[in-house]
Amino acid sequence: MLTPGPDHPITLEPGARRWRALFAGHVIADTCDAVVLREAHLAPVVYFPPADVALEYMSRTDRSTHCPYKGDAAYYTLLMDGQFAENAAWTYETPFPAMEGIAGRIAFYPEKVEVYQADDASVNPHHVDAAPADRRAVDEVVLHTDAGDGHSQRDPWPATVENPVTHDGGLR
């Protein structure tokens, strides 16, 4: 185990804005709670909390790697709409103590998944006026809308009526 220092700096900082990950035309991760890891001369890496990642499109692989600064990484493959990205994401479930801030979080390879900052105002133009609970409600509705290919991004909500049949031929 090596400790980050002047010869190999690593910093963890909270993502200052909203971050998203896009795969196969779908947003598969969306968070305001990202951690950005900056390591030596490498490009910054955004780590998403698993609660904000669509894990249902990911499957664990046998691949594992070891970083002397962070620990052992486990990998995930993505499959969505017939598009497949092998070992496109990784996580350090139990990183070394200096990297505890990324424990359990998920990062994506940028050549396989587009990771970008999103402006809250473009996602929800009235976000400043909304209370946090209202923002979560809007996000929940968006996840149940058409993903652009005729399918919902999430399973549909349960029906609110038992029998939708009308006696006027469906016209009102």
Q: pLDDT tens digits for the chain (172 residues)?
A: 999 999 999 999 999 899 999 999 999 999 999 999 999 999 999 999 999 999 999 999 999 999 999 999 999 999 999 999 999 999 999 999 999 999 999 999 999 999 999 987 766 666 556 566 665 666 666 666 665 666 666 676 677 767 666 666 555 4
- Segments making up each domain of the chain, as ranges: 10-138
pTM value is 0.72
Q: Is 94 left (phi over 0), alpha (psi -120 to 50) or beta?
A: beta
What's the CA dihedral at 40, 44, 50, 52 to 10 degrees?
A: 160
Tokens 């962070």 belong to residue: 70
* Alpha carbon distance 77, 90 (integer Å): 9
Contacts of residue 172, Cβ cutoff 8 Å, sequence gap at least 6: 166
pLDDT tens-place string over residues 2-41:
999 999 999 999 998 999 999 999 999 999 999 999 999 9
What's the CA dihedral at 151, 155, 158, 160 to 10 degrees?
A: -40
Where does 10-138 sit in CATH, by number?
2.170.150.40
* Alpha carbon distance 114, 23 (integer Å): 7
